Structure 1
Amino acid sequence: MILNLVTTLQKLIRRKPLGQPVCLEVRPDGIAWARAAASPGQSLGFVECVSAQRQDTLSKLVDDQGWAGVPAVLVLPIDQYQVFQVERPEGVEDSELADALKWKLKDFLDFSPADAVSDVFAFPEDASRGRGPLVNVVAARKSLVRELIGLVADAGLELDRIDIAELALRNLAARLDQSNRGVALVHLRDRYGQMVICQGDTLYLSRRLELSYDDLRDASSQESAVQSLALEIQRSMDYFESQLGQVPPSTIQLVARDSVLPLNSMLSSYMAAGIEVPEWSQFGLSDALDSRCLPAWSAALGQGSPA
């Protein structure tokens, strides 16, 4: 399921963009991009910039890469939207579901539903545990989405759609889940992490993980920080088993911001599941993936496959 937030917001009727999309994640510290990640000729990169430099940075990137008129997929980081599980009402058409359900979020959002753009994606039936049909509702601020739409348009790209981080990471998890027994994937950034658990191409769980790389690097706080991170990961695994009724994966795939820290062995001592790093060569990469590019690169993995 790919989020059609752009269509929901703008109601645009436009020509279908041609060519392989470029996938972008606009971060506080720069712009991550990836294109044709499913092929041996894939390309990806990260350009550092502050917020005030985003437009010039992206425009230059488009010029340098020859992307004028190329379709673009924007990936929202987990801190730019919220996801809630809501009962699916009877008699509501799929096309009307997002608008119908976003008003149920008024007690959970820190802004008015009138200021939200929303969409839905499926919640696994076998994880509802007798609660009836559920759907995931995504809500983001209209102002944020408008800003990103303008950024892409002014750079000369043709916006195709907006995706969210967990659905992008699902693409990688599905590739790693060759046995269809489930994969847990943890992506660590400077100030937070994200964990997803998938079976095949079905997303079961997504959690934000609180962490600080400053604490992980500081010898005086390192052990406590590792223990806290391991506890958050383990709680997510326990929830997956006890509340969703699923068998937890035996290993966790870890993509970390700082490859210098031996986080695999540090976390393993506190967890039952094994900690591994994805084998990047199976994706045609000669070097370890720059973790800053992971959501954009993972979104590009899904190009050309059904969502």
Structure 2
Amino acid sequence: MNVQGPDPRSGFSECPPARRGETLQALVEQNAWAGAVTTLVLPLDQYQVFQMERPEGVEEDELADALKWKLKDLLDFSPSDAVSDVFPFPSDGARGRGELANVVAARKTLVSDLASLVLSCGMQLERVDIAELALRNLVARLAVTDRSTALVHLRENYGQLVICRGKTLYLSRRLDVSYDELRDAARQESAVQTLALEIQRSLDYYESQMGQVPPNTIFLAARDSVLPLSSMLSSYVAAEIATPDWASLGLSESLDSRCVTAWSSGLVGDVS
């Protein structure tokens, strides 16, 4: 969750789902967040994104509803139980598949419960974001050229790769690797190779199927600074592996990777 305010800080409070309300209420009281404007960012495993052909003659404000009902064969729950939205798919990445749109779908009850949690703690909810669009904001700030730039964000049980060009999100992929595997000496080499292979496959797809020039830099946001992941991955991936320069983004210290998506959602004003 991102809380707007004049004092930019970041932090992570770990708690079981049953204690989220209690934990959030304590944070609101400690930080005087009552009435603050917030953004919720859904984690990768709580929604799905599909690329679908955009129907002709449908107005922009009707597109999400029009496409939601085409998801009935793709979702494991009824479209009537879903909340959905759309965001653009880059036309130069469609490769003859017509005009596409990205369709996001999440369970309505999940989003409603999270929204109620924020409101019950006395804060205002401005919007609900998704992980790849939040990370897109960060990549747009990290990019130093007009060429594509990638970011790998590692969470405790999975990772996420996003590739952007300028302010446009082109590709997002889940990476099936956990910190337990990376920290375990017996499994570490295999885990690094698997992670590198998934990254390289995504870069190959970006080039061969989307017709784009692959990025020459991949930024890595990882929680465990003790593990030399950048140098380990560099042995297997053609692109340069770099760590974000958090100081250039206005932070006095490295950002905890568990806070990256929430913090990045606050950069939305820099991305049109």
Per the shorter chain, which TM-score range?
Answer: over 0.9
Alignment of 1:215-294 (within 5 A): 215-294=181-260
Counterpart selection for 2:115 from 133, 139, 149: 149
- Match of 1:100? 66
Residue aligning to 1:8: none
- Once the two structures are TM-superposed, the CA of residue 104 in structure 1 deviates from its matched residue by 1.1
Gaps of 5+ in 2: none
Does residue 57 of the first structure (1) align with residue 3 of the second (2)?
Answer: no
Could you tell me the TM-score, scaled by structure 1's length?
0.86
Give the letter aligned to residue 194 of structure 2. Answer: S
The alignment partner of 1:137 has SS state of strand
Counterparts of 1:120 and 1:268 in 2: how far apart (Å)?
35
The one-letter code of the counterpart of 2:161 is M
Contact 1:83 1:137 in 2 (8 A): yes
1:188 is the counterpart of 2:183:
no
Choose which of 140, 164, 180 in structure 2 pairs with 1:174: 140
Counterpart position of 1:86: 52
Which residue in the other structure is 1:131 paired with? 97
Q: Which amino acid aligns with 1:245?
A: G
Counterpart CA distance in 1 for 2:218 and 2:119 is 38
Secondary structure of 1:48 counterpart: coil
Cα distance in 2 for partners of 1:214, 1:88 equals 41
Taking the aligned partners of 1:189 and 1:35, their CA distance within structure 2 comes to: 24
Q: Structure 2-normalised TM-score?
A: 0.97
Distance 2:3 2:197 in 1: 32
On the 8 A contact 1:193/1:211 being kept in 2, the answer is yes
Assess if the C-alpha contact under 8 Å between 1:35 and 1:44 holds in 2: no
1:48 to 7, 14, 25: 14
Percent identical across equivalent pairs?
A: 66
Instruction: Please state how far the C-alpha of 1:53 moved relative to its aligned partner.
Output: 0.9
Query: Deviations for 1:139-198, whole angstroms, at most 9, x for unmatched residues?
Result: 000010111011001000111110000000001100011312121000001110000000
Structure 1 portions without partners, runs of 5+ = 1-23, 25-32
Aligned length: 272
Partner of 1:9: none
